[in-house]
Amino acid sequence: MNLRGVHFSLRRWLSSSSSSKSSSVSWISPLQLSKFNAHKPDAPPETQTEARRKTKYISHDAAVNLIKRERDPQHALEIFNMVSDQKGFNHNNATYATILNKLAQSKKFKAIDAVLYQMKYDTCKFHEGIFLNLMRHFSKSSMHERVLEMFSAIQPIVREKPSLKAISTCLNLLIDSNQVGLAQQFLMHLKKSLNLKPNTCIVNILVKHHCKNGDLESAFEVVKEMKKSKLSYPNLITYSTLIDGLCESGRLTEAMDLFEEMISKDQILPDVLTYNILINGFCRGGKVDRARKILDFMKSQGCNPNVFNYSALMNGFCKEGRLEEAKELLDEMKRFGIKPDTVVYTTLINCYCRTGRVDEVLEVLKEMKENECKADTVTFNVILGGLCREGRTEDALKLLDKLPYEGIYLNKGSYRIVLNSLCQTGELNKGKELLRLMMGRGFVPHYATSNELLVRLCEAGMAGDATMALFGLVEMGFKPLPDSWALFVESICRERKLLPAFELLDELVNIEYN
């Protein structure tokens, strides 16, 4: 078997005359491939024409691009091995990083192990970023022990101690995956084997974990230990994380006390993020006026609010239906030279829609256009919801029809909002037309919405329409509930249309067995 002709794209850039056999080649690790090549018989002498065809040299950059473009991980690995056969070519950090990323994306973990084994004996200079990327892939695959293995592989292969970024990445991945036991083992390993003491940045990950789980007492215990160490003394991120945890738990008074303690005792000044945590917390707690005072205090202390601070406060006013005060905040932003973004405008539009003032939304959209701020899918979904709540389904349908032609992307939720409304109001003919439009654009309705529409069509004596809609949905991978099937068959039989009933039953059998 001649593996040099495995990949069709290689024939183009190497101009090789050997035949391609990729479809029948089983997975071969780099070590196996090297071993195989070492024992294969000598190739017959090349003709002058063949020699001229094999003159193009593949650089590292070209190899990286070829591996990236290759969809099949087996072919990508073959490219990786074949370019190394070139005279004077040695793999570098970039080519190793690219093939490992490709294999990790395809979850070819045995092949990854083979490449890592090869790296141990390669003399090129490696960077730890390769291992940070592998840690993330293993974490996504719930292979948490392998996350630790990748961290341990840094020093023997990179030939340098892991950086603080590597330590933080490893610990963060374990904590986010709720692998507290492994995280504690990891910290012990740092102290004993590497003689590294966690700094503030690393310990903050533990504080974040406890706050995320609502275990604020444990978080405060960690902070108490941090204060005993100069290396890991609490910083602004530590306090902001604790304040956020208190706000999430509705303990607003304690959050304010901690905020003041941070400033007075530890002489740590808050930033816009810390203020935003408080503003959000008080808005969620229904104390928007207090949140407004926090914004005013922020300005008085020389900390200029940003678009996120105003957006959070506007959202608080809008949730309470205080539209005029939300509009005043928008004007205030403009006076301070802060350009409102799509989130700010969408928040305001939502308030207009919730208070039954959908017609005024057009003015906001006009202003957005004038300020070169583009409304997105979320913005128009809010408008569609507002129109439907006011019973203006015809306007909503017109909007759905024209927006894609104006370059606005719609998602499944856009259609679902209107289709749900049509089902609830009994406008089944419009619902049927919308379903056709939706499927014509490649969207399958939500499972529950589809069932509801089909059931309502049957109940309204529109069994033929229901059947047509059903077959269209089934072609796109939809499977109705068993109760819906029974209702379809019953409705069709009631209309004495037995042939469609048999066809429907055949379709049911096909779906169940496929």
Q: What is the dihedral sign for C-alpha 303, 306, 311, 314?
A: positive
Mean pLDDT of 16-29: 38
φ/ψ region of 250 (left if φ > 0, alpha if ψ in -120 to 50, else beta) reads left
CB of 382 closer than 8 Å to CB of 344: no
Residue 138 is which amino acid?
F
Structure tokens given for 164: 């603080």
Tally Cβ neighbours within 10 Å of residue 304.
Answer: 12
pLDDT in tens, 395-435: 999 999 999 888 888 888 898 899 889 988 888 888 888 88
Structure tokens given for 492: 């069709």
- The whole model's pTM is what? 0.67
Mean pLDDT of 49-69: 78
Q: Whole-angstrom Cα distance, residue 369 to residue 315?
A: 21
What is the pLDDT, as a whole number, of residue 434?
87
Rg of the Cα atoms in the chain: 31
pLDDT in tens, 283-323: 999 999 999 999 999 999 999 999 999 999 999 999 998 99
CB of 152 closer than 8 Å to CB of 182: no
pLDDT in tens, 489-513: 566 555 555 455 555 555 554 544 4
The pLDDT > 70 percentage for the chain reads 80
pLDDT in tens, 357-366: 999 998 999 9
Mean pLDDT of the chain: 82
Q: Whole-angstrom Cα distance, residue 206 to residue 222?
A: 8
Would you place residue 31 in the very low, low, confident or very high pLDDT band (cuts 50, 70, 90)? very low
pLDDT over 70 at 148, yes or no: yes
Structure tokens given for 496: 């004495």
What is the pLDDT, as a whole number, of residue 3?
32
Tokens 């994380």 correspond to 241
Q: Whole-angstrom Cα distance, residue 384 to residue 419?
A: 11
The pLDDT > 90 percentage for the chain reads 54
Closest to 432 (Cα-Cα) out of 384, 468, 389, 479: 468
